Structure 1
């Protein structure tokens, strides 16, 4: 068991070291978020499974607060309304559960953050395509080699790790950093 823990800590640290080399990209994404929020736009989040939980977590950090006491910021997790998810899933298919919400809620200048550990989630990719049609800015959080999301998003952060857990740990770290950088604004 100790060996398992040591290996996990080592893999995590190596992932974070690789992620740290993407500081310029993280700052670029922070600037995208800050400009959108400063202009009165909102940030929409979508993802599946653990990534859906990250969407809810990051939207809550914006609407509530991260560290500093400040005005609530418009962040919306497209993963939370079970009536919309089940109605759209039933009527249009699961691949459209996010794109339909982007169609309804997205406006030019808004940001869509699509989170997919593989980078190949069809519903996240469909949401990215719809967001571009709406004139939104698209940001991807992916893993491994980035998958299709790496080319579908305007800017994509790829957490270079082989295991889903390490990718998700990188995503939430970057999400927290982005929230902190927005707090500083």
Structure 2
């Protein structure tokens, strides 16, 4: 019984990956173009997430600054909301929902990109960060689930939404990680050309 339940998790995830491959190819390509435009113009990628997606934001920033699967010069990226002392201080002064927005206001520049990871799409801190990014003339890339009415309502025509066609947070986050790896791979290929990774 337990083994069957475990197998079912794998089957559900695999089915969603196949479905998401068709659904997300175009928005991911749009996201790659937005990131490339930003990076090649001397801008930076700012990344943040809600809940457990904060760790995914850190991981993406590390892959840009360091490397994904092959050596290359570092790309300007920064994960927001990961400095616990800074976040606690900002939360005390401005409220927990303004922690990410304050960092975008202080560090974001016109032409930068804010990539948000919000499986539920209704996190007030993430929505406030998106509003701050728009105030700084930044493009927003929003990784969400199927239902993200609060966040989707904030997006502009120049923004990109990568909406995983599912409602369960665990499945959405699994696809977000795969989609982030696709983003990293595509950026590397566009910057350095095709070659086998050194993974």
Q: Fold conserved (TM > 0.5)?
A: yes
Match of residue 138 from structure 1: 140
Secondary structure of the structure 2 residue equivalent to 1:36: helix
CA contact under 8 A between 2:68 and 2:184: conserved in structure 1?
yes
RMSD: 1.1
Bigger Rg, structure 1 or 2: 2
CA contact under 8 A between 1:56 and 1:79: conserved in structure 2?
no
CA contact under 8 A between 1:138 and 1:155: conserved in structure 2?
yes
How do 1:20-169 and structure 2 match up within 5 A? 20-21=21-22, 22-153=24-155, 154-169=159-174
Please, what TM-score do these two structures have when normalized by structure 1? 0.96
What does the per-residue CA deviation read over 1:24-48, in whole Å, with 9 as the maximum and x for residues that have no partner? 1111101111111111100001112
Taking the aligned partners of 2:142 and 2:153, their CA distance within structure 1 comes to 9
- Unaligned stretches of 5+ in structure 2? 192-199
Taking the aligned partners of 1:23 and 1:144, their CA distance within structure 2 comes to 15
Taking the aligned partners of 1:106 and 1:70, their CA distance within structure 2 comes to 24
Taking the aligned partners of 2:41 and 2:49, their CA distance within structure 1 comes to 25
CA contact under 8 A between 1:78 and 1:101: conserved in structure 2?
yes
Corresponding residue pairs, total: 185
Taking the aligned partners of 1:129 and 1:58, their CA distance within structure 2 comes to 22
